[in-house]
Amino acid sequence: MRLAVSSVAMVLKYYGVDRDPFGNPTTPETVNNYFKRDEICMGDKCASLGYSQGNIKWSAAGIYSSQSNKNFSSQKIVYIGPSDYNSESVKGQIEAEKPVILRVPSREHWVVATGIQNDTFLINDPAYNRTALDDPAYGNNALAARNYQKTASDFSSFEVTSLAPSQILVTDSEGRRTRFDPSTSSAVEEIPNSFYYFEDAYDDPTDENPPPPSGSGVYIVLILTPGQDEYKVELIGEAGEEYSFFVHASDTDANVDFNLFEGDISSGRAENEYFFNYISDPQDEIEFSQQIHIDILPFVQRNFIFRKSRLPIPVAILSSSTFDIENVVTYSLRFGRTGNEESFLKCVPLRLDVNKDKLKDLICLFSTQKSGFQMGDIEGTLSGETTLHASFKGADSVIVY
């Protein structure tokens, strides 16, 4: 990872991002320190602003540049995605004054292509004193590219990273999918501006340690400039296989939210599915939350809400294979017309199986008069956080009088 971070630092400096957001010179060390910010862990699996389970988040370079721009008016850059190595494409980018990060063979690591000389590319190699891609060690070839460009605004993205061997399927609200298709051994990228790719665990040829095992690394779904949407994230693997994945979201102004999730692959596909709401509004903080199921007025068929009633509204928060009600921070709960109403009263100590799925559910009570319902409303929304600071949201139908 050290060499990937060094390559990112070189690209930032190429574009004139000479200081980190705190005024320190841009170096591999300061980039690494920034990328390690806000780290969260589940056991030995960790994620932070710029790292996910041992791999770099290439898009974090854009966040770094945006924050530096706010303080020092330096250039902003944005990650525009991965690509296979294509010499003509790299040549075009360099001619457009866009350096390209390349993964090179021979103890694979990352270098930066910055210029053209005859039939090869001039490179900055953080591992060796090699100055061109036609060095015998690389054979004038590369294996992959990571691409950036200048930007004035939009840093919005939705990214899912899964530790191999578990793969990812992301579906948007229109049914478009981005995933790996085993029947063709290729990526299906139906969601606009999306990428699906595998990134090998990083090697450092200057280190005495052996290369990482073959097949180790992460699978990544990256969606650039997404609009407001609900994404279904499904983990694909062998039944019983443990998985962990990281979801990272940023808005147009480079505000960031992220969290880690883990579980076991179930033979029932619906039990491996997570739902996330993505809202990126530059006027507000980014909203990124796991979609859960709730039952307003449990055990009642029709959810009549009488606005002037002094009786509380019971709401059941339903457990599932991907959501544990024991992780709910009860004082974070909001419920009502929009899901932002501070109407929480208390939760019932007794856990009941409201929907008969053999999982215990959490029933909480909310003030009717503080819930903000109006005549004609047809939906009530609950929001909150877990002990891991992951936001969640759920909704159910109502009839308001």
Q: Give 222's strand partners.
A: 159, 195
pLDDT value at position 186? 81
pLDDT value at position 271? 59
Is the pLDDT at 52 greater than 80? The verdict is yes
Same domain, 1 and 135: yes
Same domain, 7 and 137: yes
Is the pLDDT at 118 greater than 70? The verdict is yes
**How many CA atoms within 13 Å lie on the side-chain side of 2?**
8
pLDDT value at position 264? 80
CB 141, CB 150: distance < 8 Å: no
Is the pLDDT at 288 greater than 80? The verdict is no
Same domain, 190 and 244: yes
Among 118, 152, 186, residue at a domain's last position: 152
Same domain, 259 and 335: no
Same domain, 227 and 309: no
Average pLDDT, the chain: 91
Query: Please, which pLDDT band fits residue 91 given cuts at 50, 70 and 90?
Result: very high
CB-count exposure of residue 299 (10 Å: 0-12, 13-18, 19+):
exposed
The whole domain housing 378 covers: 292-400
Same domain, 161 and 284: yes
pTM (whole model) above 0.85? no
Same domain, 303 and 238: no
- Return the CATH number at 129: 3.90.70.10
Burial 249-268 (b: 16+ CB within 10 A, else e): bbbbbbbbbbbbbbbebbee
Could you tell me what percent of the chain has a pLDDT over 70?
97
User: What would the mean pLDDT of 105-127 be, rounded to a whole number?
Assistant: 93
Listed range (115-129, 229-243, 326-340) with the worst mean pLDDT:
229-243
User: What would the mean pLDDT of 182-207 be, rounded to a whole number?
Assistant: 86
User: What would the mean pLDDT of 47-71 be, rounded to a whole number?
Assistant: 94
Is the pLDDT at 284 greater than 70? The verdict is no
Same domain, 184 and 204: yes
DSSP per position, 31-90 = HHHHHTTT-EEETTEEE-SSEETTEE-TTHHHHHHHHHHHHH-PPEEEEEEEE---HHHH
- Cβ atoms < 10 Å from Cβ of 28: 17
- Return the CATH number at 377: 2.60.40
pLDDT value at position 241? 86
User: What would the mean pLDDT of 311-324 be, rounded to a whole number?
Assistant: 92
Query: Please, which pLDDT band fits residue 286 given cuts at 50, 70 and 90?
Result: low
SS3 assignment, position 274? strand
Among 98, 123, 152, residue at a domain's last position: 152
Same domain, 140 and 1: yes
How many angstroms separate the CA atoms of 373 and 258, rounded? 31
How many angstroms separate the CA atoms of 151 and 143, rounded? 26
- Token representation of residue 55: 């791999």
Is the pLDDT at 267 greater than 60? The verdict is no
CB 175, CB 239: distance < 8 Å: no
CB 63, CB 254: distance < 8 Å: yes
Among 89, 123, 152, residue at a domain's last position: 152
- Cβ atoms < 10 Å from Cβ of 115: 14
pLDDT value at position 262? 82
In total, how many domains does the chain have? 3
Listed range (62-71, 199-208, 360-369) with the worst mean pLDDT:
199-208
How many angstroms separate the CA atoms of 391 and 177, rounded? 24
pLDDT value at position 159? 96
Same domain, 285 and 300: no
Estimate to the nearest angstrom the gap between the alpha carbon of 311 and the chain centroid.
41
User: What would the mean pLDDT of 3-18 be, rounded to a whole number?
Assistant: 97
Q: Are strands 362-366 and 344-347 parallel, antiparallel or unpaired?
A: antiparallel
Is the pLDDT at 207 greater than 90? The verdict is no
pLDDT value at position 268? 54
How many angstroms separate the CA atoms of 149 and 75, rounded? 10
Is the pLDDT at 69 greater than 90? The verdict is yes
pLDDT tens digits for range 299-308 = 999 999 999 9
pLDDT value at position 210? 78
Listed range (11-25, 67-81, 158-172, 261-275) with the worst mean pLDDT:
261-275
Same domain, 171 and 270: yes
Same domain, 157 and 224: yes
Query: Please, which pLDDT band fits residue 183 given cuts at 50, 70 and 90?
Result: confident
